[in-house]
Amino acid sequence: MSTAYLNSEFTANMVALRTIVYREIRRFTRIWPQTLLPPAITMVLYFVIFGNLIGSQIGDMGGFTYMEYIVPGLIMMSVITNSYGNVVSSFFGSKFQRSIEELMVSPVSPHIILTGYVVGGVLRGLAVGFIVTLLSLFFTKLQVHHLGVTVLVVLLTATIFSLGGFINAVFARNFDDISIIPTFVLTPLTYLGGVFYSITLLPQFWQTVSLANPVLHMVNAFRYGILGVSDIRIGVAIGFMLVATAVLYGVCIRLLVSGRGMRQ
Amino acid sequence: MSTALSIRQLTKTYGNGFQALHGIDLDVAEGDFFALLGPNGAGKSTTIGILSTLVTKSSGTVNVFGHDLDKQPSALKRCLGVVPQEFNFNQFEKAFDIVVTQAGYYGIPAKIAKERAEQYLNQLGLWGKHNVPSRELSGGMKRRLMIARALVHQPRLLILDEPTAGVDIELRRSMWSFLTELNEQGITIILTTHYLEEAEQLCRNIGIIDHGRIVENTSMKDLLKKLHVETFLLDLKEALLVAPQLIGYPAQLLDGHTLEVQVDKAQGITELFRQLALQNIKVLSLRNKTNRLEELFVSLVEKNLAKVAV
């Protein structure tokens, strides 16, 4: 294969990637009252009710005020929900309207299709995370203990949940199927993932069980980046996230190449 | 002239065991305007689905301008533009964005994509609606939008699956002249349609598919030569009570003023009119009962049905 051919293929794929990412940004910004506004309102309610009203009665946790303690978890919760929600609804919507065929008939490689959707999910997760972070500044002071860990963890988390949303969308046959996982899996894992409490408050047995919850590792790693405290070892958490990203990416590519739910 | 499309022993069996294609062979020359006809469920859409990679073939080979579907799918896709039967675009996106986005999937830079989108939307009479969400377009506009989208990467082979279904006559004729223009510019076109008049008017060559088999693959001219008997409807000046006796011309009276007559091509109609004149029957006008191709199509499909039943 000539270098010129490879270069033109690479350039064409980069144009295609940019096209998919722009389309995804256009989608979630066009419907901002459904995508960007609700998490902002929900998180303000969390800050007021849990942080201010109830938090003032709880006292310190991990050496910080309760409000300071829950802010990283709430930012992470928004990132998780929105990166997952963006990919699952966008990809399933494309399947439902059959506009996914526009991509399938084109020469775009499966890696570019997947990367485009994942970048779209990550960007929405980051956009909502940024909005929630700004809102949190009205309630507490925010410090960054370790910028590198903070950025790496938030990017890996958004990527993992974007990939998860993609798998959900591939298998989904109707709109119920895209709400089952967020309602019955994602929400419990997030609430039990140390967003509102330190697992050291739990009996030993439940502390051990909690370690199987992937969200716990993400929330604690992010909390370490912001506050410098964590219930788990950061190296283990980041290692786990890197492995999860690689495994989920492999699964997604296999699904795309096989055309499951897209080709007859 | 080189081959635009070459299909060999193509088969497709769906997951439920239904065999849609039984090893079809088909060649379409570069620059051709080719009609692929067949009754519902004959295998037309499955064939087009395989070409556009939306349906996975069970066996056989597909080649488009020398690019093998299995070995060079990316190169093959760049040569191909497909206008499907069902609307398959995002109903919330604007018409312009749909076309520009499709160009992006083919690696066409945004500036060129926008120029081409404007050009094709203009040519198809949609520029006035380019900023309108596609769900607000009429059925005919949506069909034209899909044609603009299929052309934006300037394919060498354009496949249209019933592009004029549900489109009014005026618009259909303007689409015919647009497609003829494209073909004159060198784009090979494959068309499936239920309007046989459309196929007869536009296409030079024709393939008829039925029950997953190609039952005819020839030029339109040669195919129409096979039509031995044509049925004519004669509008009579004065009403008749019974059908007249016309030697060599089977006739029946549809109503007092309309006579249906079968005419063998070898006989011609001069003798028919001589006999009518002898019986003092005055004819106001004469027309074909059905489109010529339609008669042939029905007879071919019926023959195949009999074979399949045996």
User: CATH 3.30.70.1560 in chain B, residues?
Assistant: 229-293
Which pLDDT tens digit goes with each residue over B128-139? 999 999 999 988
Q: Are A150 and A226 in contact (CB under 8 A)?
A: yes
Contact partners, residue B234, CB within 8 Å, separation at least 6: B258, B259, B260, B261, B276, B283, B285, B286
Beta bridge partners of B207: B36, B217
Probe site for chain A from B77, B90, B159 (most A CB atoms < 10 A): B90
CA distance A17 to chain B (A): 8
Q: Tens of pLDDT along B85-98?
A: 889 999 999 999 99
This model of the complex carries an ipTM of: 0.86
Average pLDDT in the B148-166 region?
Answer: 91
Cβ-Cβ contacts under 8 Å, A103 against chain B = 105
Topology of domain B229-293 in CATH is Alpha-Beta Plaits (3.30.70)
Is the model's pLDDT at B37 over the cut of 90? no
Minimum distance, in Å, between the CA of residue A261 and any CA atom of chain B: 11
Cβ distance of B106 and A106 shorter than 8 Å: yes
Nearest to B54 among A9, A18, A105 (CB): A105
Please report the pLDDT score of residue B140 as a whole number.
87
The answer to whether residues B160 and B189 touch, using CB atoms and an 8 Å cutoff, is yes
**B140 in helix, strand or coil?**
helix
pLDDT band, very low/low/confident/very high, at B112 (cuts 50, 70, 90): very high
Flag if B105 and A11 touch (Cβ within 8 Å).
no
**For A30-42, what is each residue's pLDDT tens digit?**
999 999 999 999 9
Q: How many residues does chain A have?
A: 264
Decide: helix, strand or coil at residue B6.
strand
Q: What part of A 245-264 touches B (C-beta under 8 Å)? A: 259, 262-264
SS3 B270: helix
Residue A96 forms contact with B (CB below 8 Å): no
> B55 versus B1: which is more confidently predicted?
B55
- DSSP class per residue in chain A: --HHHHHHHHHHHHHHHHHHHHHHHHHHHHTHHHHTHHHHHHHHHHIIIIIIIIHHHH--BTTB-HHHHHHHHHHHHHHHHHHHHHHHHHHHHHHHHTTHHHHHTS---HHHHHHHHHHHHHHHHHHHHHHHHHHHTTTS----S-HHHHHHHHHHHHHHHHHHHHHHHHH--STTHHHHHIIIIIHHHHHTTTSSS-GGGS-HHHHHHHTT-HHHHHHHHHHHHHHS--SS-HHHHHHHHHHHHHHHHHHHHHHHHHTTTT--
Q: What is the mean pLDDT of chain B?
A: 87
Whether residue B310 has pLDDT greater than 50: no
B3-225 falls under which CATH superfamily? P-loop containing nucleotide triphosphate hydrolases (3.40.50.300)
Q: How far is B7 from chain A (nearest CA, A)?
A: 18
- pLDDT at A232 (0 to 100): 86
Q: How many residues does chain B have?
A: 310
The CA-based dihedral angle spanning residues B51, B52, B57, B61, taken in that order and rounded to the nearest 10 degrees? 30
Residues of chain B with CATH 3.40.50.300: 3-225
Is the CB of residue A75 less than 8 Å from the CB of residue A136? yes
What are the extents of the domains in chain A? 3-258
Residue B51 φ/ψ, nearest 5 degrees? -60, -40
pLDDT lower than 50: segments of chain A: none
State percent of chain B over pLDDT 70.
92
User: Which of B77, B82, B89 is the closest to A107 by Cβ?
Assistant: B77
The Cα–Cα gap between B49 and B85 comes to 11
Cβ-contact B205, B221 below 8 angstroms: no
- Tens-digit pLDDT profile for residues B240-296: 888 888 888 888 888 888 998 888 877 888 888 998 898 999 999 888 776 666 666
Name the band, by pLDDT with cuts 50, 70 and 90, for residue B78: very high
Q: How many CB pairs under 8 A join A and B?
A: 83
Q: What is the pLDDT of residue B248?
A: 86
